[in-house]
Structures are given as C-alpha cells and as structure tokens.
Amino acid sequence: MKNNTTIATLGSHSALQILKGAKDEGFRTVLIALYDKADFYRRFPFIDKVIGIAHYSDFPSVEKQLKNHTTVLVPHGSFVAYLGKEGNKKIKVPYFGNKKVLDWEEDRGLQRKWIESADILMPPEFTEKNIQFPVIVKTFGAAGGSGYFFAANKKEFMEKIRSIKSPRYVIQQYVVGVTCYLHYFYSPLINTVELMSIDRRYETNVDGMGRIPSQYQHSMQIDPSYVVVGNSSLVLRESLLPEAYAMGERIVASSKKLIDHRGLIGPFCLETIITPDQKFYAMEISCRIVAGTNLFIEGSPYSWLTYNEPMSTGRRIAREIKFAITKNKLNTVVD
Ligand code: AMP
Ligand code: AMP
C-alpha cells in the first residue's frame, strides 16, 4: 500500500514512541513542538518535519498546514494537560480516538461510575464526616500526582486541608499494596482488547521513603508526595493475568453502554493497586497512550505473545490507522 497519510503529534510525553511507530508502519511523520524543544526532536531521523510554535495555545494556527496533507493526529498526555479538554474538542484534524470519552475521564464522579459499572473495585471515598484513616486527598484537575496529600489521622487532615486551594477534591481510602499500571489497546476494527504492557510509576518522594530506615522516618517527619518522575517495568504473577485482561474487556464494554455506541477507542490505562488478597483496586483510568508505555518501544513480554515483532503502543496505533485506511474505515477510529 502506498501510504500518503501523515501521523502528527505534539512534542512531549510519548511523541518519540508514537512517531517511531508511525514511521515503522510506513507513515510520513510531523511533530509540533515548542521552539525550545524543536532542535532536540530534529535529532531523530524518523521525524520527517518539525513545526515550531511559541506556545501550546498557538496550536490552532498549525491546523491549516496539517489539513493540507491527509493527517491523523495522535493525542497523548500533554494534549489535555496543555490544550485543555475544550481545546481538544475544537481540533478539526482527524483525531485518533473518541473525544466523548474526555468528559468521562475528566470528571472523577463519572470515572467512578464507569469503572464500578465494569465490576472493578475502587478505593472507597469518604466525606469529612465519615472519614476512615489513612486517606489520600486528591484535588480535581491535578496532574501527575501533584496537589495530593496523605493523612494518617484527623489532626493531620485538618492541618493539610487548609492549604488546598481547589474547592473540589475527593477523600479516598489509602490502599496499601503494589501499584500496577496496565496498558491496553482496544481495536474496534477487530473488536479485541490487547494487554500491551505494564509499568510501575516511580513517584517522588513516596517511592524513595523505603530507602530511609523506619526508625529515622518518624523523626524526619517526611510527608509523602506523588509526583511522577519516571517508570519501571513490571510483569504480573501469571495467575493475575486473566483478571487483568478481563478488566480491560469490561471497561470497553461499559464504555459502549455509558458513553456512546463507539465507546473507548485505542490505548487506555488502568492505574491499579494490588492488595495482599490479590485484588485490583483502580485509582484512575487514562483514556489515551500513557507515558509508561515509553519503556516498551521494542515491545513488552505481553505484546510479544501477540506479535512476533516489536510492537509498542505507538506502533499499534499506527497499525490500526493503517488497517482502517486499507478497509476504508478511518472514521471508525478517529473523531
Ligand atoms: P509533560 O509533557 O512531561 O509535562 O507531561 C504531560 C502530562 O503527562 C502531565 O500530566 C504529566 O504528569 C504526565 N506524564 C508525563 N510523563 C509521565 C510519566 N513518565 N508517567 C506518567 N505520567 C506522565
Ligand atoms: P492518580 O492521579 O489517581 O493516578 O494518583 C497518583 C498517585 O497517587 C498514584 O500513582 C498512587 O501512587 C497514589 N494514589 C492514588 N490513589 C491512591 C489510593 N487510593 N491509595 C494509595 N495511593 C494512591
């Protein structure tokens, strides 16, 4: 197939993985990057063109250039973080995925409804009157774990809640277990959910606290924080895998009932904590490629079970777009 389509994305988050995958699948590739990052991205031969912009808010001015070619835009974590939900909805270039999902992803109440309707446990939520400690308090719109706090008792909670600026927050039971971020891909073209890979986030300073012996931790009074700085890979105990796959399938099935008939399309991630009784508790769902997949540009143990070739999530997206074009069904996978 002669591929005249361009795959484009913004220069950050998982752009390298997305465009490497697009090039491996035979697409032309374009990156829109802030001027100060453009030279960094020009190092990579699989990026055909880098378009510089001064601010993310200038993105709409680039759209015309993109539309002159047949372009599919692949969103990642920076799209909502820097263009906002409404900014994403206004994009006119074909956008990989279903934008209706953005409303459900942004609202913690709707997320809970969706996840629980897929028969997946979530940490219980409390009001100030019925709190059971320990808890984690999360403001709405916080990104990457910043703006969260941990409270072990009422006194700590009252002290810390004063410093919270956002009027909207949730109080959640603090689940003690192993964090596990499951990366899925749903193909509406072959109606299959694949488990692409799994990561653990490395969050500072909560993941660094174990390096301080407990007798010193108390006197140092370290406050845990959850700002993500990197990711490491994880494979699951095999007996947990059937449920991991089934959770992904139930999330997709629920999305078709709750959101619209198309539901969730393409990559998504369930952020979970696994407790000693081997139960998954979902903290959140991300409805796009997550940065933890950057560990697996050459594929993961799980993608290797499905593909006898390196298959990153970025490449899987490009393959879906390619398949859709061949079948004349691009509208099935873009919005
Ligand atoms: P950045 O482009 O690094 O500013 O990140 C854009 C968004 O993606 C922010 O909401 C980050 O919190 C999130 N993000 C970036 N890198 C990672 C990562 N390695 N793991 C999880 N989330 C990330
Ligand atoms: P989130 O923004 O929901 O992905 O949360 C950011 C980080 O906070 C997670 O990666 C966890 O390390 C931690 N976290 C969130 N919710 C909980 C919870 N209910 N119990 C324990 N840790 C949590």
Q: What is the pLDDT of residue 142?
A: 58
Pocket probe for ligand 2: among 112, 136, 227, the residue whose CB has the most ligand atoms within 8 Å is 136
Q: What is the pLDDT of residue 215?
A: 86
Q: What is the pLDDT of residue 140?
A: 75
81 lines ligand 1 (CB under 6 A): yes
CA 103 to chain centre: 15
Beta bridge partners of 71: 6
CA-to-CA distance for 274 and 241, rounded, in angstroms?
12
14 lines ligand 2 (CB under 6 A): no
**Which residues in the chain come in under a pLDDT of 50?**
none
123 lines ligand 2 (CB under 6 A): yes
- Describe the crossing of helices 313-326 and 15-24 by its angle, rounded to 10 degrees: 40
Q: What is the pLDDT of residue 67?
A: 83
Q: Of 254, 256, 251, whose CA–CA distance to 269 is shortest?
A: 251
CA of 120 to the centre of ligand 2 (A): 16
Q: What is the CA radius of gyration of the chain?
A: 21
Q: What is the pLDDT of residue 87?
A: 95
Q: What is the pLDDT of residue 261?
A: 97
Structure tokens at 214: 């407990």
Q: 55-111, pLDDT tens digit by residue?
A: 999 999 999 889 877 999 999 999 999 999 999 999 999 999 999 999 999 888 999
Q: What is the pLDDT of residue 143?
A: 63
**How many CB atoms are closer than 10 A to CB 235?**
11
CB hemisphere CA count around 105 (13 angstroms): 23
Q: 299-335, pLDDT tens digit by residue?
A: 999 999 999 999 999 999 999 999 999 999 999 999 9
Pocket probe for ligand 1: among 17, 32, 34, 228, the residue whose CB has the most ligand atoms within 8 Å is 228
For 318-327, b where at least 16 C-beta lie within 10 A, e where not — what string? bbbbbbbbee
CA of 145 to the centre of ligand 1 (A): 10
Do 124 and 114 contact (CB within 8 A), yes or no? no
